């Protein structure tokens, strides 16, 4: 049973504990279980109050069972099911006895909507406790009363911020905004619920009404300003590619302007419509993919790891150390000397202090986190460590020297390289035990980017894969495993994408036109800004590494990045690249501006108009085709991993679901024809992968 009832001291404890799962999810069984128990408790004279509490250690309710959505064939059938759920929460809200949500651990989506229907909400201050309404990330809106109850609970500005971003809210933030009525220690949760029940039963508890601007922007005509600004921001950020945010605004507006029943009806209708859009189908496909890779695929059971080593304490190295320590693992952070190592540790401390100031972490939690990081300049401090990750310069000889240094103090160490382009098999040549060498390719900034690309060679052992994967899971990463090769997967499909942008500049395209075409298509940043962000030196290095492979296929890679780097122009980190960046601490915040001097490397300042559609098609399709080649050659083990890598690592438009999901939706035949036209016009770099014609001919799908 997912729901059990315990009665004691006049309280009915509804315990949520889905058997065999780490988390509770709102599914048909849970909803039906709630309904039966409420029938029983409504007439029960002994129970004076009801408390929802979880039997899981770090989870209240993780949200609704999204996989249920695909079991409904019609909108009408789906809407009927949604109404059962909203009717249940209505019943909780109007229940004649006090109903309390006692929340420890994650409370997401439908779980938070259930809590909003309760009369009182208690959050623990445990590090695992957090809440969110992340439905927008699935192309949906909070469809169980969230758009109706949240604005009235925390005020319209806070509610729109939560619903339009899916952002995570922590206990102290929740208390400040009125989402939590009480915050307590996890071991005092039951006692707090008993106290709250007594307060509610006696009538002593009165929730404070919204005040100030929160009240004005929620309960007066001034809310029109909030809705207007929200729509303006949404359209600017989404370019109209995502229908859900605008529907969230529409639903929230209905809840504040119309009758209660009309508001809920509007929400239900909008939710049903969104569930059947291609955008939501794409985003749900990504979600299922992310869920599927949460299990370690190695045949060898991962050994327990209490600490790892991190070589390199720069931005990447300190970022990797940060997420590792956040996952509960101690990190020996080594750099060339102690001073450099402590500088890297200082970057981590700075981020932790920000979280303390925002009350995301308590002082105690921050101190415990920082205590897990040990900066050092001595290789001997890595003795006995099972896994070491390096994030140093892309210099093969340097990496070989580090391997020898680490193997000398820890002979059986798994050595993981964060290289973005050097073949792992080449790095492994410097090891006594090449089977212990693996790639762990992180993305910058490490704390925010969700992807980890693990690269295995023909020699990589199952133990190495198992250990690397387990560490990645502890770091909270979504992991794809790919085979070794030039650029692996993500760098390999990024290289022709960047190259095409440089070729367009050589043909006379303007920087602004290239950027607008790709952000309009759905990329979060344009390719030119991306070159500046990763560094022109890195782009030049990657181009040189991958150039032989592309030349062998008849392509003609641009050499512009190498020439620009040769002039000492580095991109954002150097203050100037394709854009000029204001100096830090220069007072008033200024925006970056296009560096028109860069055109000297592309034939001069005269620019010509190239159609936005041509720019978009050339750049998007060359990346998609490279993804197909990676699948064809066995670099990728599945289209699912290809979609996750492109979206989570490179920003391929999420609403399209990734290269392979997009081909399925758009049609393999159409993609093949478009590539054929581009090949005829621009040459062999657009020659379609053989696998595409195969799928087009047989009408097959890459993603089921």
3-state secondary structure 279-331: HHHHHHHHHHHHHHCCCCCCCCCCCCCCEEEEECCCHHHHHHHHHHHHCCCEE
d(CA 475, CA 477): 6
Query: Which of 161, 177, 148 shows the shortest CA–CA distance to 233?
Result: 161
Catalytic residues: 453
pTM of structure:
0.91
Domains of the chain and any CATH numbers = 3-276 (3.90.226.10), 307-484 (3.40.50.720), 491-698 (1.10.1040.50)
The pLDDT of residue 202 is above 90: no
Q: Are 406 and 398 in contact, with CB atoms under 8 Å apart?
A: no
For the segment 74-91, the average pLDDT, to the nearest whole number, is 89
Q: How distant, in Å, are the alpha carbons of 255, 507, 593, 608, 660 from that of 504? A: 49, 5, 20, 10, 25
At 384-434, the pLDDT tens digits run 999 999 999 888 999 999 999 999 999 999 999 999 888 999 999 999 999
For residue 149, what are the contacts with CB-CB under 8 A and spacing of at least 6? 93, 113, 116, 117
Average pLDDT over residues 54-69: 88
Give the model's confidence band at 73: pLDDT under 50 very low, under 70 low, under 90 confident, else very high: confident
Taking only the tens place, the pLDDT of each residue in 16-36 is 988 888 888 888 777 777 778
Q: How confident is the model over 284-304, as a mean pLDDT?
A: 89
Give the lowest-confidence range in 112-121, 298-307, 373-382, 619-628: 298-307
Q: Which two tokens stand for residue 102?
A: 């006692």
DSSP structure string for 543-555: HHHHHHHHHHTT-
What's the confidence (pLDDT) of residue 67?
85
What would the mean pLDDT of 638-659 be, rounded to a whole number?
96
The tokens of 301 are what?
A: 């059971």
**pLDDT surpassing 60 at residue 166:** yes
Instruction: Count other C-beta atoms under 10 Å from residue 589's C-beta.
Output: 6
Report pLDDT digits (tens) over 465-487. 999 999 999 999 999 999 999 89
Taking only the tens place, the pLDDT of each residue in 561-618 is 999 999 999 998 889 999 999 877 655 567 889 999 999 999 999 999 999 999 999 9
Of residues 123 and 39, which shows the higher confidence score?
A: 123
Q: By the 8 A CB rule, do 253 and 227 touch?
A: yes
Looking at residue 404, what is its pLDDT? 94
d(CA 143, CA 113): 9
């Amino acid at each position: 049973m997912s729901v059990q009832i315990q009665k004691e001291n006049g309280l009915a404890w509804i315990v949520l504990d889905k058997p065999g799962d780490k988390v509770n999810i709102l599914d048909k069984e849970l909803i039906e279980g709630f309904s039966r128990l409420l029938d029983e408790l409504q007439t029960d004279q002994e129970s004076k109050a009801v408390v929802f509490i979880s039997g899981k250690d770090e989870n209240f309710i993780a949200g609704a069972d999204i996989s249920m959505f695909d079991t409904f064939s019609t909108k009408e059938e789906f809407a009927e099911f949604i109404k059962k759920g909203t009717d249940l929460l209505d019943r909780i809200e109007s229940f004649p006895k006090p109903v309390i949500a006692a929340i420890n651990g994650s409370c997401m989506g439908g779980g938070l909507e259930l809590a909003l229907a309760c009369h009182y909400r208690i959050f623990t201050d445990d590090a695992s406790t957090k809440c969110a309404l992340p439905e927008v990330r699935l192309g949906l809106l909070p469809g169980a009363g969230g758009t109706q109850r949240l604005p009235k609970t925390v005020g319209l500005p806070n509610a729109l911020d939560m619903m339009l971003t899916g952002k995570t809210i922590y206990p102290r933030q929740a208390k400040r905004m009125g989402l939590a009525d009480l915050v307590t220690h996890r071991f005092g949760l039951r006692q707090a619920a008993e106290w709250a029940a007594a307060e509610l039963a006696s009538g002593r508890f009165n929730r404070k009404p919204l005040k100030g601007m929160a009240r004005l922007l929620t309960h007066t005509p001034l809310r029109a300003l909030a809705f207007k600004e929200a729509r303006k921001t949404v359209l600017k950020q989404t370019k109209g590619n995502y229908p859900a945010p605008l529907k969230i605004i529409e639903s929230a507006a209905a809840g504040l302007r119309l009758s209660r029943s009309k508001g809920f009806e509007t929400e239900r209708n909008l939710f049903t419509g969104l569930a059947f859009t291609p955008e939501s189908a794409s985003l749900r496909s990504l979600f299922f993919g992310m869920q599927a890779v949460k299990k370690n695929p190695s045949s060898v059971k991962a050994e327990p790891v209490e600490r790892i080593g991190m070589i390199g304490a720069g931005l990447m190295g300190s970022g990797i150390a940060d997420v590792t320590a956040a996952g509960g693992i101690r990190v020996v952070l080594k750099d060339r000397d102690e001073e450099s190592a402590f500088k890297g540790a200082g970057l981590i401390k700075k981020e932790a202090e920000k979280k303390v100031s925002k009350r995301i972490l308590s002082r105690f939690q921050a101190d415990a986190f920082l205590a897990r990081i040990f900066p050092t300049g001595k290789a001997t401090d890595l003795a006995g460590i099972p896994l070491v990750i390096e994030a140093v310069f892309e210099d093969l000889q340097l990496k070989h020297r580090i391997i020898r240094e680490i193997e000398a103090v820890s002979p059986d160490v798994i050595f993981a390289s964060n290289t973005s382009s050097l073949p792992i098999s080449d790095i492994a040549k410097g090891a006594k035990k090449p089977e212990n060498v693996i790639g762990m390719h992180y993305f910058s900034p490490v704390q925010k980017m969700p992807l980890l690309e693990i690269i295995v060679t023909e020699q990589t052992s199952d133990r190495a894969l198992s250990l690397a994967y387990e560490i990645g899971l502890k770091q909270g990463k979504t992991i794809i495993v790919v085979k070794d090769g030039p650029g692996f997967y993500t760098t390999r499909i990024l290289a022709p994408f960047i190259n095409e942008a440089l070729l367009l500049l050589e043909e006379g395209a303007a920087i602004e036109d290239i950027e607008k075409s790709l952000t309009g298509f759905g990329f979060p940043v344009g390719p030119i800004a991306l070159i500046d962000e990763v560094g022109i030196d890195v782009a030049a290095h990657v181009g040189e590494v991958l150039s032989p492979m592309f030349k062998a296929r008849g392509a003609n890679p641009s050499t512009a990045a190498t020439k620009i780097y040769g002039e000492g122009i580095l991109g954002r980190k150097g203050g100037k690249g394709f854009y000029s960046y204001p100096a830090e601490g220069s007072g008033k915040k200024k925006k970056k501006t296009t560096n028109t001097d860069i055109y000297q490397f592309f034939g001069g300042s005269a620019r010509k108009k190239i159609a936005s559609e041509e720019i978009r098609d050339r750049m998007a399709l060359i990346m998609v085709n490279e993804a197909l080649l990676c699948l064809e050659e066995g670099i990728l083990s599945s289209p699912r991993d290809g979609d996750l890598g492109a979206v989570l690592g490179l920003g391929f438009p999420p609403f399209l679901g990734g290269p392979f999901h997009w081909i399925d939706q758009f049609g393999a035949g159409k993609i093949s024809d478009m590539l054929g036209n581009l090949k005829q016009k621009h040459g062999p770099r657009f020659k379609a992968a053989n696998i595409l014609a195969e799928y087009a001919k047989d009408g097959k799908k890459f993603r089921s």
